[in-house]
Amino acid sequence: MPLIALRPLLDYAAANNFGVAALNVNNMEQIQAIMEAARATQSPAIIQASRGARKYTNDLFLRNLMQAAVELYPEIPVVMHQDHGNSPETCISAIRMGFTSVMMDGSLEDDGKTPSSYEYNVAVTREVVNVAHRFGVSVEGELGVLGSLEHGMGEKEDGHGAEGKLTLDQLLTDPDQAVDFVNRTGIDALAVAMGTSHGAYKFSRKPSGDVLAMSRIEEIHKKIPNCHLVMHGSSSVPKELCDIINANGGRIKETYGVPVEEIQRGIRAGVRKINVDTDNRLAITGAIRKAFTAKPEEFDPRYYLTPARAAMQAVCEERMKQFGQAGHAKKVPHVTLEQMARDYAAGKYGDNARPDTVVGKKAK
């Protein structure tokens, strides 16, 4: 099956009450791990790459690795998603390289670290929608700034994230503003801020409602029940993965992630896309460290990358089952990008999702 857009997958997930793990990649082994997990569980897959990953891998390598994935696993519906695009230019370059879904993170200015104004966010996100929907490509937007409700600081990873102290208004997506944002931009999915952050060090204790505001997701869902919500920074940071790293020379400090049961609560409240990266990084790193400890004389990359790939696959399989996407691969509608472009233009996904007559026209 060719790569598909994000929207029909999330529409199907909503109709069947499950979420989909969105898994970040940088290299061949990670793509292989995801695809093997998807085949083992018969799950649709969202594979995403950040700007940093695109720079590390090179777009041509990444595009051809993804093409190999869909050829080798024809039964698996796959979305190729740009994670945290910092500008319309980044998103448009992703579309040119074959991405079928892009995220315009207008919550920050194009430097990827300065919180933006609301009107700036609306304008740049709408600009991306105007271009992307013409080509049948889906768009995720973000409202609110990712950061910690424990200490009020922004988070930065892979060169992207707010710097410095943030206000509570910035750290929590406003439900009423979310309604206006979705109406004015015509996005297909909305990432919300509610206390999650990127990286391993999300919480200093098991999170409760004061630092992980799941109730905010529920409020937003009540206001815009037909909008697909996205949870970023949603790795669970399992202690057993950290222990493997530390038992083999690592120094991961005590930390807590987003409990799976809280993600499942979010899925019941309209969350359809759940971003997971750190858990896979921990699994890979632990397996590599363990392999080096067992045979320090080894130097063949296949010796340590094979168990690393298997460890990531195990995490992916577990999340696919926990989020409810397992068993749905063959049932996801296959809608070509050409048909998606026609559907956007015809208003199938709402008048606000139609591209403007003149590209670049600002949303009203």
Which residues have a catalytic role annotated?
A: 83
Residue 81 CA from chain centroid, whole number: 8
d(C-alpha 29, C-alpha 32), whole Å: 5
DSSP state of 21: E
Q: CA angle 219-125-118, nearest 5°? A: 60
User: Could you tell me which residues come within 8 angstroms of residue 83 by beta carbon, excluding any fewer than 6 positions away?
Assistant: 22, 24, 48, 49, 50, 53, 103, 275
d(C-alpha 323, C-alpha 342), whole Å: 31
Tokens representing 295 are 């045979």
Residue 83 CA from chain centroid, whole number: 6
Nearest residue to 348 (alpha-carbon basis) of 82, 136, 128: 136
User: Could you tell me which residues come within 8 angstroms of residue 151 by beta carbon, excluding any fewer than 6 positions away?
Assistant: none
Burial 36-54 (b: 16+ CB within 10 A, else e): bbbbebbbbbbbbbbbbbb
d(C-alpha 5, C-alpha 80), whole Å: 8
Contact 2, 70 (CB under 8 A): yes
Contact 194, 214 (CB under 8 A): yes
How big is the chain by its Cα radius of gyration, in Å?
19
Question: Can you say whether the dihedral through the CA atoms of 214, 217, 222, 228 is positive or negative?
Answer: negative
CB atoms within 10 A of CB 330: 11
d(C-alpha 81, C-alpha 103), whole Å: 7
Q: Provide DSSP, 25-38.
A: -SSHHHHHHHHHHH
Write the CA distances from 68 to 72, 78, 329, integer angstroms: 6, 12, 18
